[in-house]
Structure 1
Amino acid sequence: MAVIRVEKQKNYTVMSNYHLQDGNLSLKAKGLLSMMLSLPEDWIYSVEGLVSLCKEGRDAVRSALTEMEDAGYMVRGRARDEQGKLREAEYVIYETPQTAPETGPDMPEPTPEEPTSENRTLENPTLQNTKRTNYLKTNPPIIPPQGDGSVSRKKREPKAAPDWKPERFARFWESYPRGEDKQAAIREWDKLQPDDVLLREMALGLARDMQSPDWQRGIGIPYACRWLKHRRWEDEHRTPPQEPELQPEQTLPKGAYRL
């Protein structure tokens, strides 16, 4: 009797299928996120390091990271060291879109690039078991995790309504044709804090978008959070140029050739 033996590899990666099935992510962003999730927890990456691990260039990697951040798979943060000084920008990678940590006096909005004279390991006491991306040229491609990982991750509770004009947001949310990611829309609404004048402009812009041929067919409708974040009501809707009308063919003289 023949003996059949199956040789299996032991180096497997187990991850959520959520980002792979997310239609809002490009194949480039899905591939980069899958690669980052395949490596051990709490490893720190630099842009140069990610470039060295894949075939794409620096611009492609940065655009994929920006896409991951817009979709909620990457959240920016910043921590302080023991002397109270701000550390470098820290990016936390998630398997599914998450709520971004609040910013305040101790956690301002970080910049994509920040010079430094030393290669320090980032430590944030509020984060654990996350992927951290440090946008520094001085970092090596991969840095082993530091610490014993005994702290837990802090998450913000979801909100039922924004703090700024919740009744107006409710009307906007009811009118908007897509109902995904309401928490992100609430955050963007509170950041925007539209007054009555801006609310009127937004209402006119939304009504115009909803009458567009693409939206009528359900094509190209962004999430409400992205519509708010990118101020899509200010888009210029330009009518494509019309094809010139063809003139009736003129009668050619007998014996002439038509070109």
Structure 2
Amino acid sequence: MRVHRTEHARHFTVLPNGLLQDRRLSYTARGLLADLLSRPDGRREDGRQMADTSPQGRGAIRRALRELTGAGYYRVDTIRMPDGTVRSEAHVFDTPQLQLAIPGVARPVSGRAKTGPAGALLVKNPVKVPSRPVEPADRLLATADEPAGREEG
């Protein structure tokens, strides 16, 4: 297979290959995710609006959103506003997010990552040589107090 790519100066989206090759997701779910990630941050759109602009229909979009939610790419939070009203806020991620809510740990915020992908799963690098574990401080102090060796004399 030969892949032909054009050079883009504007109006393009960069996506991780892992997202496009995630075999847990159907092609419909991957396509919907790519479409959602191409949208500007802060855009408000619900599943009904997505389905109405798609040839697949509401059932397919609902199933795709369920797949994306289960895989950690999509989440909807219900937020109570200070005036008492309730609204939904959708979050779309380009890498799967942890499914467990850990108390005291903030969820990733939308926008550009500052220190790396927020909440991304760590994957072992099979090429990198592992580093040695760090010795505990008390053990280092204990070995520093011991004599280095016996003196013969």
TM-score for both structures, normalised by structure 2? 0.57
Question: Unaligned 5+ residue runs, structure 1?
Answer: 1-5, 105-125, 131-154, 159-259
Aligned residues: 107
Deviations 1:96-133 (A, max 9, x none): 111247399xxxxxxxxxxxxxxxxxxxxx83329xxx
Query: 2:55 aligns to what?
Result: 55
Extract structure 1 runs of 4+ deviating beyond 3 A.
6-10, 100-104, 155-158
The alignment status of 1:96 with 2:95, answered yes or no, reads yes
Report the aligned-residue RMSD: 3.2
Distance 1:59 1:103, change over 3 A: farther
Query: 1:18 aligns to what?
Result: 18
Instruction: Please give the residue correspondences for 1:235-254 in structure 2 after superposition, counting only pairs within 5 Å.
Output: none
Within 2, Cα distance between the matches of 1:43 and 1:101?
A: 26
Distance 1:51 1:73, change over 3 A: same
Residue identity matched to 1:62:
R
Residue identity matched to 2:40:
P
The alignment status of 1:41 with 2:41, answered yes or no, reads yes
CA contact (8 A) 1:15 1:95 kept: yes
Query: Shift of residue 55 of structure 1?
Result: 1.2
Distance 1:58 1:82, change over 3 A: same
Within 1, Cα distance between the matches of 2:30 and 2:60?
A: 13
Percent identity of the aligned residues?
Answer: 29
SS at match of 2:77: strand
Question: Unaligned 5+ residue runs, structure 2?
Answer: 1-5, 113-117, 122-153
Residue identity matched to 2:89:
E
Query: Shift of residue 53 of structure 1?
Result: 2.7
Distance 1:103 1:45, change over 3 A: farther
Within 1, Cα distance between the matches of 2:100 and 2:77?
A: 7
Within 2, Cα distance between the matches of 1:45 and 1:101?
A: 25
Residue identity matched to 1:98:
Q
